[in-house]
Amino acid sequence: MTQTEFKRRRRQLMRMMGKDSIAILPAAATRVRNGDVHYPYRPDSDFYYLTGFAEPEAVAALIPGRKQGEYILFCREKDADKERWDGAIAGQEGAVEKYGADDSFPITDLNDILPRMLEQCERVYYAMGCDPDLDQNMSSWISQIRSKARSGVHTPQEFIALDHYLHDMRLYKSRSEIAAMRKAAKIAAAAHKRLMSECRPGIKEYQLEASFLHECSRRGARQQAYSPIVGGGNNATVLHYVDNSDKLENGDLVLIDAGCELDYYASDITRTFPVNGKFTQPQAQLYQLVLNAQLAAIKQLKPGNAYNAPHKAAVRTLTRGLVKLGLLKGQPAKLVREEKYKKFFMHGTGHWLGMDVHDVGDYKIDGHWRQLEPGMVLTIEPGLYIPMGSKGVAKKWQGIGIRIEDDILITRDGCEVLSADAPKTITEIEHIMAA
Ligand code: GLY
Ligand code: MN
Ligand code: MN
């Protein structure tokens, strides 16, 4: 992402905010794992989206129309000793020169400077409840300002949730965001493909996980967008299974839900395939049904269609198929109305995808599902889950969990499946696994 793009985003937000307002955004905190060990630092998505600044201990203030500068970045001061241990710090000069701030102050001066900026504004755009320390500062700054009201100091009158505006911006991906997401999806798709060729009975779930991480890392995506799920057999029926510790058995399916993060953009792909490379008949029947549901859902992805059109299509296809296979009994339309499919398919068909795997953006506007528009990216991920011991279900279906998940961009005339490189038809999968 170029500095020009970050600047364009700040401009767009400031245009929506209008004069006499201030937006305040904190950087994410560093998190201790244990002892002297920290988790790898991940910037806050909102903060990074507007600043491109990946250091902790920073606060950005946007004040549209302010003469002395509209974009102020509070950040760490340069410190040669600290930098010897932990690497470069941009400092105030770097904030201006490299990151396009109009002005920059040491983060340690926040308490002195920010309240004076607040006094000049009518409206404060701020996401309350996300950063407890800054929340506390904020409320003490406001009460400080209020206590000076009699001496003529002005108190801001309106507090507005920043997330709403910002998250609507983040929902529509720019050309360079789409390029990053396409790359992230391609890398994860290649890793999924590698797992298909490596898998064989007897290896451990974590060995497939290790190959996935290796393939992503060596292609430059060194973080995962979420913890990978590698579940063989019945483990695939546990939706958030992340132990990944069991042996993969001959005759079972394995479900892998894994996606990398590249330049802070996520991919989120699920593939399910037979551990030994060949689907049994019941596995193939259920797999083809999930695939048909996924394809029916993807068919609904075009501008103007409602967000839930794909879910409706998936549910209709799954329900009809479940009746045909004898897993549900009754009239498909009635079973859909009564949500009987939920016994086997209990989650949504997808979600927005972007800097966060479950990305931001409203799904409904004024109580109605929003329309799909070019630039939106979402997942389509129907599944069927039939745990061992399911009552009233023939033995041959039990211990099977299947999900097929792709990452999809809405385009002007339809959609583009960003994760299309990961094979998903029965023929393709069996072909790769036989090679
Ligand atoms: N991997 C998280 C999800 O599929 O939503
Ligand atoms: Mn997903
Ligand atoms: Mn997923």
Q: Is 385 a catalytic residue?
A: yes
Beta bridge partners of residue 417, listed in sequence order:
408
Question: At 384, which CATH number?
Answer: 3.90.230.10
CB burial string 2-40: b at 16+ within 10 A, e below:
eeeebeebbeebbebbeeebbbbbbbbeeeeeeeeeeee
Residues 22 and 146 both lie in one domain: yes
Q: Is 405 a catalytic residue?
A: yes
Boundary of a domain, candidates 145, 170, 195: 170
Q: Atom 4 (ligand 1): residue with closest C-alpha?
A: 268
What is the total count of domains within the chain? 2
149 exposure class (CB count in 10 Å sphere: 0-12, 13-18, 19+):
exposed
345, 356, 405, best to mutate for ligand 1 pocket (most atoms within 8 Å of CB)? 405
Residues with CB under 6 A from ligand 1: 226, 257, 268, 351, 357, 381, 405
Q: Which domain holds residue 117?
A: 3-170
Ranges of the chain whose pLDDT falls below 50: none
Identify each DSSP E strand in 284-361 by its residue range: none
pLDDT digits (tens, 9 = 90+) for 213-233: 999 999 999 999 999 999 999
Residues 157 and 208 both lie in one domain: no
pLDDT given for residue 76 in this prediction: 98
Residues 275 and 359 both lie in one domain: yes
pLDDT given for residue 155 in this prediction: 81
Specify whether the CB–CB gap between 76 and 107 falls below 8 A: yes
Q: Looking up tokens 């993807």, which residue turns up?
A: 298
For the CA of 407, the nearest ligand: 2
Residues 152 and 293 both lie in one domain: no
Q: Is 347 a catalytic residue?
A: yes
User: Considering 123, 164, 351, 370, which one is annotated as catalytic?
Assistant: 351
Q: Is 38 a catalytic residue?
A: no
Residues 79 and 207 both lie in one domain: no
pLDDT given for residue 399 in this prediction: 98
Residues 404 and 313 both lie in one domain: yes
Q: Give the position, in ligand 1's atom list, of the atom nearest the Cα of 225.
A: 1
209, 229, 240, 268, best to mutate for ligand 1 pocket (most atoms within 8 Å of CB)? 268
Boundary of a domain, candidates 112, 147, 170: 170
Identify each DSSP E strand in 219-363 by its residue range: 223-224, 229-232, 253-258, 260-262, 265-266, 269-274
User: Considering 268, 359, 406, 430, which one is annotated as catalytic?
Assistant: 268
Residues 160 and 275 both lie in one domain: no
**What separation in angstroms does the CA of 70 have from each of 20, 49, 73, 322?**
11, 17, 10, 59
Residues 235 and 342 both lie in one domain: yes
Residues 31 and 70 both lie in one domain: yes
Residues 216 and 182 both lie in one domain: yes
Residues 163 and 226 both lie in one domain: no
Boundary of a domain, candidates 121, 153, 170: 170
pLDDT given for residue 139 in this prediction: 92
| pTM, 2 dp | 0.96
Question: At 139, which CATH number?
Answer: 3.40.350.10
226, 261, 294, best to mutate for ligand 1 pocket (most atoms within 8 Å of CB)? 226
Identify residue 360 by its one-letter amino acid code: V
Closest CA to 232 of 206, 267, 269, 211: 206
Beta bridge partners of residue 385, listed in sequence order:
401
Q: Atom 5 (ligand 1): residue with closest C-alpha?
A: 358
For the chain, what percentages of helix, strand and coil (3-state, to nearest 5) are there? 40, 20, 40
pLDDT given for residue 152 in this prediction: 81
Phi/psi of residue 35, nearest 5 degrees: 50, -130
Residues 344 and 399 both lie in one domain: yes
pLDDT given for residue 65 in this prediction: 95
Q: Is 381 a catalytic residue?
A: yes
